[in-house]
Structures are given as C-alpha cells and as structure tokens.
Amino acid sequence: MITLTINGLRVEVEQGTTVLEAARFLGFPIPTLCHMEGLSPYGACRLCVVEIGEGPKAKLVSSCTYPAEEGLRVRTASARVLRARKMVLELLLASCPQSKVIQDLASAHQVRQQRFRQEHEDCILCGLCVRMCEEQMMAKAIGFRGRGSTRSLGTPFDIKSEVCRLCGGCIYVCPACQLRCTYTEPDKAICGGCANLSPPCVEKERFDDMMCYMNPCVACEIVKD
C-alpha cells in the first residue's frame, strides 16, 4: 500500500493507482475529458492537471497518467492548478466551440472569455474513440494519422474500414462531436437529424448536413458516397 497526501488528507491506495483515482476516491473533483473508466489513461486533454511537490520543485502533472508514489503531496485545486485548467479550457474552446461538454466545463470553471483565434474543429485529438475502438470493441478500425497540425483521426485512406462494425462506440464517447448522429431513436438521440427530416433522409445532400459517421446510414441504409 502507498500513502500519499491529497490536499492535506492522507490516503492509502494500492500500488499502481493513479493520482486521479486516489483523488476521486477522496471525493475531490478533477475535471477530465480524455479519461474514461475501462480505457487506458492517455493524458491528452491536460484538464486533470494537479500540482505535486513542494516549493520551487512543485510542478504540474496530468493526474490521470501519474502513478501514486509514497509520500507524494498533491494539490488538486491550488491557484496555479486552477489557472492552468482555465487556460486549457480556453484553448479547447478556441478549437471546438460547438461542443456541449467543453462549453459546460468552461462555464463551470468561470471561463468567461476566449482570447485565441477561433477555429471550428470537430476533434480535440483526445484519442477516446481510438482507445474505445481498440480496447473495448477490439476492432482497431480508427487511429491517428499524420502529425503536427495535420494530425487527424479516422480510418486508413478515409475509406470504410473492413474491421468497423458500425458499433458507434467512437461517437458515443466523443466529447467534441456529440451533435453527430446518435442513431435513430428520436427520444434517445441528441441529434436525430436523419429521423426528423421530412421526408426522412432521402436526399443525400441533406444527409451530409447531419455530420453523420454512419456509412451507410443505419436507419435508412442510404449509402453516403
């Protein structure tokens, strides 16, 4: 067992526990975007930053990937952590302003302005969908492509993958693109665009507007070309 101190409270956790899990066990809220139980930690969104160490040696680390160490002193809500977290949210807002999840988080963290060049990406490259596809769905149909500013997510050659079973898991976990098609049950769907069209989803041009990943559409089986 490892003993560490989180915000002045001592806690005993098992070897291999991450700082995030230990903090959540004590009930300290740490916001996350790219973390999900059942998927391996990735440390992409940096929202879960915490401060470890003392004095001039104190540093910010992502708690979802940082393993608990004996005698570690963690602060989850120091001024420095909150400042860093607000900056991360502001940057996320700049790239993905339409995401409801990011908007809510920003609002909860008193982010009232966004000072960076506004982009309208539909992906924050958090890799949740990649891990979902690989670790839970055992498919490995999508992955990262390219590098740097041209890094993107998707299937090889942008054609439908042979191993994709259209499970929709990638869309389900995505924090940025939840406005995309969520299947056809109108009461469950956040979008339901294809079902609510009248007449429903017969024109391919309008189907494209739905930002739908399903190909062919599971509802009407129109092949999007």
Partner 1 sequence: MKKEEVLSIIDKHRDQGDGLISVLEEIQTKYSYLPAEALKLVAERTGRSAVDVYSVATFYRSFSLKPRGKHLCLVCQGTACHVRGAPQVEKEFARQLQVQPGETTPDREFTLETVNCLGACALGPVVVMDGHYFSNVRTSRVKSILDKTRAGLDDAELKADLRDFVLTVSCPRCNHSLMDPHHPIDGSPSIKVTVATEGEHGWLRLSALYGSFTVESEFGIRTDAVVDFFCPHCHAVLKGASLCPLPQCRAPMVSMIVRAGGVVQICSRRGCKGHMLDLNGSGV
Query: Smallest distance from the beta carbon of 62 to partner 1, in angstroms?
Result: 22
Considering the complex, state which of residue 146 and residue 186 has its C-beta at the smaller distance from partner 1.
146
User: How many angstroms separate the CA atoms of 181 and 222, rounded?
Assistant: 14
Considering the complex, state which of residue 49 and residue 129 has its C-beta at the smaller distance from partner 1.
129
- Cβ distance 217 to 194 under 8 Å? yes
Considering the complex, state which of residue 42 and residue 61 has its C-beta at the smaller distance from partner 1.
42
Query: Smallest distance from the beta carbon of 147 to partner 1, in angstroms?
Result: 5
Q: Which residue, 48, 22, 20, 24, is CA-closest to 34?
A: 48
Query: Smallest distance from the beta carbon of 46 to partner 1, in angstroms?
Result: 22
User: How many angstroms separate the CA atoms of 107 and 99, rounded?
Assistant: 12
Query: Smallest distance from the beta carbon of 9 to partner 1, in angstroms?
Result: 42
Considering the complex, state which of residue 54 and residue 158 has its C-beta at the smaller distance from partner 1.
158
CA distances from residue 185 to 18, 54, 194, 205 in whole angstroms, order as listed = 38, 53, 10, 22
Considering the complex, state which of residue 142 and residue 176 has its C-beta at the smaller distance from partner 1.
142
Query: Smallest distance from the beta carbon of 215 to partner 1, in angstroms?
Result: 16
CA distances from residue 148 to 26, 80, 144, 175 in whole angstroms, order as listed = 38, 28, 11, 21
Interacting residue ranges for partner 1, rule: CB under 8 A: 134, 140-147, 155-157, 161-163
